[in-house]
Amino acid sequence: MKKILVYGDSNTWGDNFLTRRRIPDDKQWCNILQEKLGNDYKVYQEGLPGRFAGSVDKNEIYRNGIDTFLSTYKSIAPLDILIISLGSNDLRPESNRNSDNIIKDLLSYKELLDQLFDEDNNRYFNGKLPEIIYLLPVNFALPGVEYKELFDKTENNRQNIIKYFNDNNIKNIYFNDIDLCEDGLHMNEIGHSRVADKVYEILN
């Protein structure tokens, strides 16, 4: 059985901020992906609302993805595939992160695993690093959504991130349009289904 860890934020968790609830379990993209992949795979859904890619939040430090990653990874390891689905919260203007900062933070996950592999490549890796796939931030600056003006200011940063990953042949998935909940910040059930379909396509 192949093991997949999805390490992400509220869109991995399945949040709809306005309703203050998660969308139904069977409509969340990680669970849709599990259903599509079948019993030959195990998908671990590790999403946290408000999680940053880097070490950004000085008050709620549990939301700093890079600071809590290794404990999550080691609890599930060894893994075959790691999907990093972060960067959206880092793009918010109040985070004061530019595209170079966010790219560095996203790449730091691979650096952490490289270091850990050198220390113990059997216990946590079975002698092989997991394949890493980046699910990059979606476009929230879409016409008609509530927070379009907020993300208009950072859309250029998002495009720079996508360009860097593509130019450097780093395996990634991105959407320039996605179906959102009424809050304008989280994917609705159609959006989750589209993500699951795309990830499934990449894996097969």
Tell me what the mean pLDDT of segment 5-16 comes to.
Answer: 95
- Residue with more model confidence, 200 or 16: 200
Question: Band of the pLDDT at 55, cuts 50, 70, 90?
Answer: very high
Q: Which of 95, 192, 98, 94 is nearest to 138 (CA)?
A: 192
Token digits of residue 50: 């408000």
What does the mean pLDDT of the chain come to? 91
Q: Which residues lie below 8 Å from residue 160, measured CB to CB, with a gap of 6+?
A: 99, 103
Copy the structure tokens of residue 129.
């690093």
Confidence of residue 18 (pLDDT cuts 50, 70, 90): confident
Residue 19: domain span: 2-203
Query: Can you tell me whether residue 88 is helix, strand or coil?
Result: helix
Q: What percent of the chain has pLDDT over 70?
A: 94
The total number of structural domains that make up the chain: 1
Question: Is residue 108 scored above 70 in pLDDT?
Answer: yes
| Reported pTM | 0.94
Could you give phi then psi for residue 185, rounded to 5 degrees? -125, -15
Domain containing residue 57: CATH number = 3.40.50.1110
What is residue 171's predicted lDDT score, i.e. its pLDDT? 97
Q: Report which of residues 41 and 138 the model is more confident about.
A: 41
For β-strands 21-22 and 15-16, DSSP reports them as antiparallel
Average pLDDT over residues 11-20: 86
| Tens digit of each residue's pLDDT (9 = 90 or more) over 138-191 | 887 666 555 656 666 788 899 999 999 999 999 999 998 888 887 778 899 999
DSSP 3-state of 194? helix
For residue 13, give the 3-state DSSP assignment: helix
Report the pLDDT value the prediction gives residue 92, as an integer from 0 to 100: 85
How far is Cα 82 from Cα 5, in angstroms, rounded to an integer?
A: 5
Lowest mean pLDDT among 37-41, 58-62, 70-74: 58-62
